[in-house]
């Protein structure tokens, strides 16, 4: 990875955020990589030394490492109760070395806890997002393969953008800057099947060109928005996926309203994917937009 400093941040800070203690210990894929898009994982390895990352983009990773360090320190004071932290476990699937590291685990009680540092949006419904449920259940399977039980899975989410005014206004907004999200434990057969399938897909990505799905790309479709004249937001219920339907509704509202076309976008590709400039699929999408 090539590190840049576009915003001229002080060198000690740049050094701090770029110093990583992470080590997958020779894994072909980690659990986190496995549940992610195979195309991204493959391109990250293929272009490892060409990828540019700015120091400013490492701030959230830096915050996460601080949180994990504090949790690890606390676990060391609770060893008598059985708590362990930051242990990487391995398994072989289809001849490939897979690994995952838990944040907190208690073999006496079977409790598995994952610590996340993310946004309030992730906790708005009080449920763990799909990818976190899959990740923690796959990690639980690694623990079971080492002969230990998993009786409970939970995620401690530290909300980095918490807003107390928003918590007071919205019933769906988290009420505190940290929440506990329980995760349903899957049957081992289900988890094993997912691990096998994810390895197959990642192997396929190494052998031929594969595509990221709309879900992988965090794709937002084209929409048509009905707005009051002079306003920037759509009226309640005023977003439409079909232009004809939007125009029909606009005709019913009269002259005080306008229709705005909003082009869809691939949010992950455009803003968050580290290998988008090496990705033929995304470059083709950009080319089509330019025409």
Alpha carbon distance 234, 224 (integer Å):
9
What is the C-alpha radius of gyration for the chain, rounded to an integer number of angstroms?
A: 22
At 101-148, the pLDDT tens digits run 999 999 999 999 999 999 999 988 788 999 999 999 999 999 999 999
pLDDT at residue number 291: 59
Query: Which residues make beta-bridge pairs with 197?
Result: none
* Predicted confidence (pLDDT) at residue 272 exceeds the cutoff of 70: yes
Show the DSSP H helices in 164-279 as ranges: 164-169, 188-207, 243-253, 267
pLDDT of residue 88: 96
Q: Rounded CA gap, 169 and 156, in Å? A: 23
Place 211 in a pLDDT band, splitting at 50, 70 and 90.
very high
Collapsing DSSP states into helix, strand and coil, what is residue 276?
Answer: helix
pLDDT tens digits, one per residue of 54-91: 999 999 999 888 888 889 999 999 999 999 999 999 99
Instruction: Read off the pLDDT band of 184 (50, 70, 90).
Output: very high
Residue 14 to residue 8: CA distance in whole angstroms = 9
pTM of the model: 0.89
């Amino acid at each position: 990875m090539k590190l840049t400093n576009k915003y001229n941040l002080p060198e000690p800070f740049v050094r701090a955020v770029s110093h990583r203690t992470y080590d997958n210990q020779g894994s072909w894929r980690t659990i986190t990589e496995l549940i992610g898009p195979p195309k991204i994982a493959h391109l990250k390895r293929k272009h490892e030394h060409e990828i540019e990352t700015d120091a400013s983009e490492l701030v959230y990773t830096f915050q996460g490492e601080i949180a994990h360090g504090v949790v690890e320190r606390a676990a060391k004071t609770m060893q008598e109760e059985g708590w362990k932290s930051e242990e990487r476990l391995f398994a072989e699937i289809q001849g490939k070395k897979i690994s995952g590291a838990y944040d907190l685990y208690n073999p006496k009680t079977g409790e598995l806890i994952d610590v996340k540092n993310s946004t309030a949006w992730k906790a708005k419904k009080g449920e763990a997002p799909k990818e976190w449920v899959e990740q923690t259940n796959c990690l639980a399977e690694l623990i079971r393969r080492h002969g230990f039980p998993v009786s409970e899975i939970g995620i401690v989410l530290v909300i980095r953008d918490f807003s107390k005014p928003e918590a007071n206004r919205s019933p769906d907004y988290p009420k505190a800057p940290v929440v506990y999200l329980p995760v349903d434990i899957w049957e081992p057969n289900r988890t094993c099947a997912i691990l096998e399938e994810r390895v197959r897909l990642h192997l396929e990505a190494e052998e031929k060109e594969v595509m990221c799905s709309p879900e992988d790309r965090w794709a937002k479709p084209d929409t048509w928005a009905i707005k009051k004249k002079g306003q920037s937001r759509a009226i309640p219920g005023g977003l439409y996926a079909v232009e004809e339907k939007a125009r029909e509704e606009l005709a019913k509202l009269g002259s005080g309203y306008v229709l705005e076309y909003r082009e869809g976008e691939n949010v992950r590709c455009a803003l968050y994917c580290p290998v988008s400039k090496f990705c033929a699929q995304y470059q083709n999408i950009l080319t089509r937009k330019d025409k």
